[in-house]
Structure 1
Amino acid sequence: MKINEFEEFFESANFDIEEPQTDHRDKFARKLEKSRKSGKAGSNSRKIWSGLLSIAAILALVLLLSNNFNQANQSDLASISPEMKQTQQFYSGLIEKELIALNAEATPETQMIIKDALQQLKKLENRYKRMENDLLESGNDKRVIHAMIQNFQQRIDLLSEVLEQIENIKSLNNQNYESNTI
């Protein structure tokens, strides 16, 4: 068939010839109400969707965290030498452990300290990314490598200090609770 024949066929054909039955809406409403009463429509599908959404949220969180640490692991510092790769993996692992410990200590009393620490950590990560570009431009300049290692150390020091502050807060709270006994 040629294009003109197709156009003529579609222009002449009337595809909209069926009308729904007059009681179509009533039948649909009754079926919907019946499924609501029996609990079929909402409960099973909600459970399934709830489970799927939970799994998706966990996967998204894992991917986000692994992406942040993989970016550090895939940086140019690791490509300089096997020793630099080991150094980078060591520091990245320590930072990851400290972050897990920090998140485990999250309470209403420590929320502001943790939030501030994460903001400072983000600033240090941004500086590190700029240093990666500097490293590429400088051709593996030792000063840039040293600055990158210092950045890792600063991040670990920051997380350690915050964990220490949280421990101090917890011990102060424990002392207050002990002195308020009946």
Structure 2
Amino acid sequence: MKNENEKLDQLFENLENQWDIQEMNSQHANRFSEKLALKKRKKNYSFIYAIAASVVVVFGITLFYTNNEKPKELKFASKETKQTDSIFTVLIEHQLEQIKAKKSPENEKIISDALQQMKALDSDYEKIKHELEVNGESKPIIYAMISNLQTRISFLQNVLQHIEETEKFKTLNDEKTI
């Protein structure tokens, strides 16, 4: 241990005249302080920008989700029209749930095609609702609305029946092969 300490002492003695002992310019400390103050200010601004960006993102998400919610209820319709719409809508949603519950690899294509067709019928229904709001209740618009609702219900009933026939056929074929 003494040997190592002696070596270190000797090393420092050899370097003794080679040290840079010049003093810094008197303005150096002031410039350093100014640069340090500028860095601190920049950090404060970045923090404020981060908060502002977060607020904008939250605000944007809020607008996105509130604007995508479509009102299901008819705004400018009589009580009977609203009631008819709600009854048919409940029936349609119930049948859609039944179809989605029967989803399997064998009937996946049927269900996806049916859901795509339902989207087209739904968009037609939205157009009818818009006409109802713009032009008010008239016999042709009410007839178109009810016709669309009936078409959607009968279409879903046909899809359900087709799925059940496919399942029955598969069950019969499975029983014969066993």
Q: Read off the aligned partner of 2:152 and give its amino acid letter.
A: R
The answer for the alignment partner of 1:135 in structure 2 is 132
Q: Work out which of the residue numbers 36, 59, 67 in structure 2 matches 1:14.
A: 36
| CA RMSD after TM alignment | 2.4
The TM-score with structure 2 as length reference comes to: 0.60
The answer for the alignment partner of 1:59 in structure 2 is none
The answer for the alignment partner of 1:75 in structure 2 is 74
The answer to whether residue 173 in structure 2 is matched with residue 165 in structure 1 is: no
- Structure 1 unaligned segments of length 5 or more: list them: 1-10, 18-62
Cα distance per residue 1:40-72 (max 9 Å; x no partner) = xxxxxxxxxxxxxxxxxxxxxxx9xxx56xx33
Per-residue deviation at 1:13? Answer: 5.3
Q: Read off the aligned partner of 1:96 and give its amino acid letter.
A: E
- Structure 2 unaligned segments of length 5 or more: list them: 1-32, 41-64
The TM-score with structure 1 as length reference comes to: 0.59
- The share of aligned pairs that are identical, in percent, is 34
SS in 2 for 1:128: helix
Query: Runs in 1 of length 4+ with deviation above 6 angstroms?
Result: none
The structure having more radius of gyration, on CA atoms, is: 2
Q: Read off the aligned partner of 1:136 and give its amino acid letter.
A: E
Q: Read off the aligned partner of 1:124 and give its amino acid letter.
A: L
SS in 2 for 1:94: helix
Is the contact made by 2:99 and 2:111 (CA closer than 8 Å) also made in structure 1? yes
The answer for the alignment partner of 2:145 in structure 1 is 148
Structure with the bigger RCO (C-alpha within 8 Å, sep 6+) is 2
The answer for the alignment partner of 1:55 in structure 2 is none
SS in 2 for 1:14: helix
Per-residue deviation at 1:136? Answer: 2.6
Per-residue deviation at 1:147? Answer: 0.4
